Structure formats: structure tokens, C-alpha cells
Amino acid sequence: MPRPFTPKIVTANDLLIGDVIYQTADDDWTRDLALAEILTDEADAQLRLLHAERQRDRLVGAYLADVTQGPDGPLPAHFREAFRAKGPSNHHHGKQERASHV
């Protein structure tokens, strides 16, 4: 039996600001993990990643990150993604200080 596919999101860093962004289903980018598009099919995930990688004047270092399905959208599966989604723990900087909008 094939192993079940862990749901994914496409994430990257914004070219100009350098902050964490997520791909949305309507082909835009959001700074809010909850609004990211959840990819549940492996082939589809690869296509969405390729699509992101082509946007080289918009972002840097796109990759697929594991998520779990939460009640209000995707939740980070690994603590690294949790820190990316939140910001550093020693200063109230990063996403925790900004209202999330695109």
C-alpha cells in the first residue's frame, strides 16, 4: 500500500522583505498560514511548487512544508514551521507584531 501523503503547503520568503509567505489557492501569496492552500495530492503539490518557483521576482526559496488540517486551516507539523509562522521567541517581532494581510 502506498504511504499516505502528508498534507503540504507551498511556502517561501518574500523577495523584498524576506519574510515568510504562503501560496494561496487563488494563486496569490499570504503572510497568514491559516489562509494557505492545503495540498493533499503529491503530484498536485509538485506542480504547485513548480508554479511558485517560476515567480522569481516575487520570492526566494520556495518549498513544500508538512502541515496538519486544523479547524481553521493548516497547522504546522514541525516546530521549525511553527517558528516561521510566529516569529522569534526573544523579541515580539516578525508575524506576531504585524496584522496579517497580504
Partner 1 sequence: MYDYTDFDRAFLAQRNSQFRAQVARRIDGSLSEEEFRPLRLMNGLYLQLHAYMLRVAVPYGTLSATQIRKLGEISQRWDKGYGHFTTRQNMQFNWPALRDVPDILEALASVGLHSVQTSGNTIRNVTADPFAGAAADEIADPRHLAELIRQWSTDHPEFQFLGRKFKIAVTGSPHDRAVIRSNDIGLRVLERDGALGVQVFVGGGLGRTPLVAQEIRDFLPLDDLLPYLESILTVYNRLGRRDNKWKARIKILVHEHGIDRIRDLVEQEFPQRRATYAPDIVTRQLELVAARFARPDLKSAPIDAFTRAYDADPVFRSWSDTNLAAHRDPDHAIVTISLKAHGATPGDVSADQMNLLADLAERYAHGELRVSPEQNVILPHVHKSDLPALHAALKPAGLATANIGLASDIVACPGMDYCTLATARSIPVAQQIATRVEELKLEHDIGALKIRISGCINACGHHHVGHIGILGLDRAGVENYQITLGGDGTEDTAIGARTGPGFAHEQIVPAIERLIHAYLDLRRDPEEPFLQTLRRLGADPFKAALYPQTAIAAE
Interatomic CA distance for residues 20 and 29, integer angstroms: 10
30 touches 20 (CB < 8 A):
no
Site string (17-56) toward partner 1, x via CB under 8 A: xxxx-----------------------------------x
Cβ proximity to partner 1: between 57 and 72 the closer is 57
Smallest Cα–Cα separation from 8: which of 32, 57, 41, 30? 41
Interatomic CA distance for residues 8 and 94, integer angstroms: 23
Of residues 75 through 94, those in contact with partner 1 by CB under 8 A are 77-80, 83-84, 87-91, 93-94
Contact residue for partner 1 among 42, 61, 68, 70 (CB under 8 A): 61
Contact residue for partner 1 among 6, 13, 24, 30 (CB under 8 A): 13
